[in-house]
Amino acid sequence: MDHEAGEARGTEGDVAEVKEVRGAGNDAIERWARAHGYVVHHRGRIPADIRQPYEG
């Protein structure tokens, strides 16, 4: 993969942190959304129209 000069590149540790942060809250939201009839994809961002009712 080519990167532009000055572009930051992550490390494996950075990837693990992102997965850890994503997994902590989003798994609960995904379970809640499915139980309430929402279609949720396992990968990617939780859409606002799902996150807002969960947090409300």
| pLDDT at residue 24, as a whole number | 58
**Which of 16, 13, 55 is closest to 32 using CA atoms?**
55
Domain limits, the chain: 13-55
Q: How does pLDDT run across 1-55, given as a tens digit for each residue?
A: 555 655 556 565 554 444 444 555 899 999 999 999 999 988 889 999 999 999 9
CA 38, 29, 36: angle at the middle one, nearest 5? 35
| pLDDT at residue 25, as a whole number | 84
Predicted model pTM: 0.55
| pLDDT at residue 19, as a whole number | 45
The CATH code that applies to domain 13-55 is 4.10.320
